[in-house]
Amino acid sequence: MRRALASLMAAGLMLAACDRPQEPGSEEGQAVVARTSESELPAWLSPTDGTDPARWLAGREVGHSLPAGAEPVRALQEALTEAKAGFIEDPRMIANRTAQLGQMLAEIGKTERYALLLTGFSTVAARRGRHKSLYGEMCQHYFNTRARGVDHAAALALLAERFAPGLGTGESP
């Protein structure tokens, strides 16, 4: 009888603990779990998101999720790898900024491929040599230039002059 009573009391304590509201701050030290579905694309990649930035960006560009090995995903993986060498921001932030720039350009009727933006900006950043650039700053200058009616190639040339002035074609920093 004592054993049965002790078991009931223990079970009651465990159930009571389940109903107890969580105390503030008790989440500290717990693991963060990425909540990204394979079929849903979040609006933005958060710092704790485990989604591949290239796959997310490719999906954002076409409007739906793509398989990991799809050609647009591979192209953006290469472009993000190249961008990582020239910019301070990490690939997740570069992907977010690229999607943001893509939206802004679309709103003014100047839709551009994300890989084209990334490779163009990486080429400009590479002219600076070992001095990394700020991707977000470059995006803003590019948008402002495109909004004034300048085409893609001319906008990149203006960015190159702004971010690596004095370097002619073929010169190294």
Quick one: average pLDDT of 47-61? 95
Contact between 51 and 36 under an 8 Å Cβ cutoff? The reply is: yes
Question: DSSP alpha helices (H): ranges in 87-147?
Answer: 91-107, 114-126, 135-147
Spatial contact of 65 and 39, defined as CB atoms under 8 Å apart? yes
Three-state secondary structure call for residue 58 = helix
Query: pLDDT band for position 155 (50/70/90)?
Result: very high
pLDDT tens, 81-139?
Answer: 999 999 999 999 999 999 999 999 999 999 999 999 999 999 999 988 888 999 999 99
- Average pLDDT of the segment spanning 59-76: 96
Question: In whole numbers, what is the pLDDT of the chain averaged over residues?
Answer: 81
Question: Over pLDDT 70: what percentage of the chain?
Answer: 72
Check pLDDT > 50 for residue 148.
yes
Six token digits for residue 124 = 């400009």
Task: State pTM to two decimals.
Answer: 0.73
* pLDDT recorded at residue 38: 53
* 22-47 tens-digit pLDDT: 444 444 444 434 444 456 789 999 99
